[in-house]
Amino acid sequence: RYTFGGLMVDEKVRPLVLAIAGSDPTGGAGVHADLEAIRKMGGEGVYAITAITAQDEESVLTIHPTPADVLSQQLAVAVRLRNPSAIKIGMVATLSNAKLVSWFLRRFKDEPVVLDPVLHSSSGYPLLESDAMSYFRQNLLPLVSVITPNRMEAEILAGQKIKSVKTMEAASEVIYKEIKAIRGKRPFAVIIKGGHMDGDDVLDVLYDGEVYSSDTKQSVPVDRYREVTNEFTMAHSTTK
């Protein structure tokens, strides 16, 4: 037996986690990083790729979104033999993919679903079609259990600047209320990741509608930031 996402698990039945995300040829982000984080958490990963990209930390050269019918087939194969214990969603890229993922999620009732709202690359390149944003917010986000935006993504979703812990808390409440109004009584939480904030320490803020919780940790080297972020997100993917 071993620990996975804070739970004791039988070695013979490793939790299955489905990662839905884009590809990154450097392996530093996207589905490749998700699978590595799943492995480190003691789980078994399956995946569906929403877009093939040519990018690194400095720039995005090209993005080729996966056609929705191909993505649908990937998802069907990934969970054909066994339903996932948790689902992690990253880049969805297009309106058609956002609609497909929303349809797919409706078959799952109790499994935790964590969504990292990938809206732009680190270099500022848009990673979600502009005409997909409204559907993304009103239809996909209300289907997930936890959303984990970074500062820039939270600013877009909340429509306000974030410069301090207080403004992180305020933004998390704005995002929470918008999504909760559609999601209803089902549990939901917003975690704003503080990796892009100024300072030597990284502070993440969680809001679940009642309590603000914060977690402070030391900054990590730039070359490990994505790795640590993915492990952090995956931990929440696997804990109800």
| 125 contacts: CB under 8 Å, gap ≥ 6 | 55, 59, 60
Average pLDDT over residues 199-216: 78
Q: Are strands 212-218 and 51-55 parallel, antiparallel or unpaired?
A: unpaired
pTM: 0.85
pLDDT at 78 exceeding the cut of 70: yes
* Start-end of H helices in the chain: 30-40, 68-78, 95-105, 133-135, 151-158, 165-183, 222-237
pLDDT (tens digit, 9 = 90+) per residue, 16-50? Answer: 999 999 999 988 889 999 999 999 989 999 999 99
| More confident of the two residues 207 and 8 | 207
Q: Are 33 and 227 in contact (CB under 8 A)?
A: yes
Lowest mean pLDDT among 57-66, 135-144, 146-155: 57-66
Band of pLDDT at residue 124, cut at 50, 70 and 90: confident
In the chain, pLDDT over 90 holds for what percent of residues? Answer: 66
